[in-house]
Structure 1
């Protein structure tokens, strides 16, 4: 099977992540060298962002989220896109990481990449979260996880989920389709 060609530069945390992504796609890959994002890594990432857009693919944990935000702040949100792996596909023996994901899962995450929108009015509100049981319900966390996977925005708490819906320019149609798929899964599952 031929690997998917990615034109953007993929930013990951460590060398094992680089190896995992190289198994999945044909792309230029940079690493942050972990949580600290040292000067050398910052300089390389800045320089790379002048040549091409970046796709940030970090672990689905707190450190990964911090790195994601640091890289975006470093190069500007207009120069980055975000790809998310669920904890489900990136956890092995209790260890969460891109390096644990299969090539298929990595390819799927990269096919759902999301760019940050700028200067647009928010479509979604807290009312949408409440009305659709994405917050405050017994199963809200699982529902956000399922819908987040479908939309390619990853798993997060309710406040961050609402922010991602608006930040990554999710359409009302995409949102409703994901909710319908969740309801079909629950009723048939």
Structure 2
């Protein structure tokens, strides 16, 4: 049984999580978080801790940002879009148990004092911004690092605020290069 409570978007996300592992979930019901749902999340956050596991789409990112502002020490788990897509639909409910377990194995925590280890230069130098295929490379690298997908600005923010080390970054880049080489 997972100690932390997983915050997901809907009932079918809970079904997918339960196929992967024994864990308690709280469903947000989309972006319109009801006051009782926020109280339930707050109680779980204080007592057991929470891990935010929202869909890898625009709505899921908005929910994640909103919850992270309210619960800054929440764990962040990201299922890559490629692993959460089936039947022309994107969401945690589409993910296989192995993809959910892989995301939970790479949980990140937002750091209060983000480092400025990485700069835009790192993104440009490694074809993660301003180059053809940069979005795809960010998506793949985000999956390897467990920080999810984001535009260049958000990706840089995640590199610096989720505790990614230079060594992890370089190792993931090498792995990305090996996959394409």
Length-normalised TM-score, structure 2: 0.96
- Per the alignment, do residues 120 and 144 of structure 1 end up closer, same or farther by CA in structure 2, a change over 3 Å counting? closer
1:8 to 4, 10, 21: 4
1:49 pairs with 2:45: yes
2:113, 2:161 within 8 Å by CA — same for their partners in 1?
no
Length-normalised TM-score, structure 1: 0.92
Number of aligned residue pairs: 181
Q: Structure 1 residue 74: deviation in Å?
A: 2.3
2:70 to 67, 74, 91: 74
1:183 to 171, 177, 181: 177
Q: Structure 1 residue 121: deviation in Å?
A: 2.8
Structure 1, unaligned runs of 5 or more: none
1:106 pairs with 2:100: yes
- The residue number in structure 2 matching 1:145 is 139
Displacement over 3 Å in runs of 4+: none
Render the CA deviation track for 1:166-187: whole Å, top value 9, x for unaligned: 1101000000001001111111
**2: CA distance, partners of 1:24 / 1:12:** 14
- The residue number in structure 2 matching 1:116 is 110
Root-mean-square deviation (Å): 1.0
**1: CA distance, partners of 2:147 / 2:115:** 19
Give the SS at the match of 2:26: strand
